[in-house]
């Protein structure tokens, strides 16, 4: 009888251990956490071909909710409680810093495989990336890192917006909804040797904070375009007329900002703006899909960013896409 009791006890212990076998530290069972792999010889391509649950993670996270003050879910900009350089310095194998696989975990569930990446490398991994020098690292604040997905927008891009991540951020009290950008209309004012394009967009503040945002009326269309770019026209063959290629005014240094360029958008409020830009290349008659990026590169450090009645918003957001037909214009 004693023999059978021992066997049953061992089976129960075995079952318990198999059910709770997880590379995630018990102290990190809530919120989000980013783990590096235990085996530093596994590269990104190998990791992406692996079952995410089979990867052996380091016992402690590289970054977790307790390190974060704000996670902007509209941009996937992460505002840290300390300078980001301290996190990159924690990585022992620094020569791999440019392309290092990681796993993002939300409430003890593995969500996706990503990579710490630098734009100085020729290879862009087809997965979410934390860019240690993107874009041009010194032009964003010292406490901000970004997660972007280089895969063209589509179902694959939804991985960053996984509801499990959102819920984990809410539980950790670091979730911020950020902004929503809506491209309302596009109109060609003139289309001769060069084109003049007018577009109207709406910005809605879904965040719980009041946000100071770049205002095209205050900046002027040319300066606003310099930071945000204008409408892109893409035909059914994928050929594009990129607004960024048109002649434009440029500030002397990226990261430059001026408080007079920003307007306060209160929580849950919306504003509408119209921008007119000259100097596009002639746009051929065709049916196009159009969208644009709203935002800019502004190195606003935390001591300037946080105000008594809100905070300065940072980042880029791709608008919705609308269909626009170009016909003969005189």
List C-alpha distances in Å: 299 to 136, 164, 214.
Answer: 11, 31, 13
List, run by run, the mean pLDDT of 10-residue segments along the chain (330 residues). Answer: 39 39 50 94 91 95 96 96 87 64 96 83 80 62 88 66 96 97 94 90 98 96 87 85 60 79 98 92 89 89 94 94 80
Number of helical (H) and strand (E) elements in the chain, helices listed first: 7, 22
List C-alpha distances in Å: 88 to 24, 98, 100, 280.
Answer: 21, 11, 11, 41
pLDDT (0 to 100) of residue 136: 46
What is the rounded distance in angstroms from the CA atom of residue 40 to the CA atom of residue 38? Answer: 6
Task: Indicate the burial class of 252 (C-beta count within 10 angstroms; 0-12, 13-18, 19 or more).
Answer: exposed
Give, as one character, the DSSP assignment of residue 133. Answer: T
CB 17 within 8 A of CB 53: no
Q: What is the DSSP string of 201-212?
A: EEEEE-SSS-EE
Reduce the DSSP state of residue 4 to 3 states and report it: helix
Reduce the DSSP state of residue 124 to 3 states and report it: coil
Reduce the DSSP state of residue 111 to 3 states and report it: strand
Domains with residue ranges and CATH for the chain: 23-175 (no CATH), 178-326 (2.60.40.2970)
Name 81's Cβ contacts closer than 8 Å, sequence gap at least 6: 67, 68, 69, 143
pLDDT (0 to 100) of residue 2: 40
């Amino acid at each position: 009888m004693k023999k059978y009791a021992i066997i049953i006890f061992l089976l129960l212990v075995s079952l318990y251990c198999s059910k709770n076998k997880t590379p995630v530290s018990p102290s990190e069972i809530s919120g989000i956490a980013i783990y590096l792999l235990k085996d530093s010889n596994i590269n990104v391509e190998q990791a992406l071909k692996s079952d995410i649950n089979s990867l052996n993670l380091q016992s402690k996270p590289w970054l977790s909710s307790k390190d974060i003050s704000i996670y902007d879910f509209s941009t996937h900009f992460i505002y840290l409680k300390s300078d980001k350089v301290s996190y990159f310095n924690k990585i022992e194998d620094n020569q791999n810093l440019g392309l290092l696989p990681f796993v993002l975990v939300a409430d003890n569930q593995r969500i996706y495989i990503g990579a710490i990446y630098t734009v100085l490398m020729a290879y862009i991994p087809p997965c979410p990336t934390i860019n240690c020098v993107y874009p041009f690292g010194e032009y964003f604040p010292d406490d901000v890192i970004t997660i972007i997905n280089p895969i063209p927008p589509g179902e694959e891009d939804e991985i960053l917006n996984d509801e499990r991540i959102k819920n984990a951020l809410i539980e950790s009290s670091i979730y911020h909804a950020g902004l929503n950008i809506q491209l309302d209309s596009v109109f060609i004012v003139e289309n001769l040797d060069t084109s003049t394009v007018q577009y109207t967009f709406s910005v809605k503040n879904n965040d719980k904070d009041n946000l100071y945002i770049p205002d095209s009326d205050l900046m002027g269309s040319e300066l606003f375009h310099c930071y945000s770019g204008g409408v892109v026209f893409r035909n059914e063959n994928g050929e594009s007329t990129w607004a960024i290629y048109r002649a434009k005014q440029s500030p002397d240094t990226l990261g430059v900002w001026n408080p007079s360029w920003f307007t306060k958008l209160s929580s849950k409020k919306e504003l509408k703006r119209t921008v007119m830009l000259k100097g596009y290349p002639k746009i051929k008659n065709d049916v196009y899909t159009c969208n644009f990026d709203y935002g800019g590169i502004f190195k606003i450090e935390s001591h300037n960013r946080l105000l008594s009645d809100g905070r300065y918003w940072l980042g880029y957001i791709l608008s919705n896409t609308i269909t626009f037909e170009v016909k003969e214009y005189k």
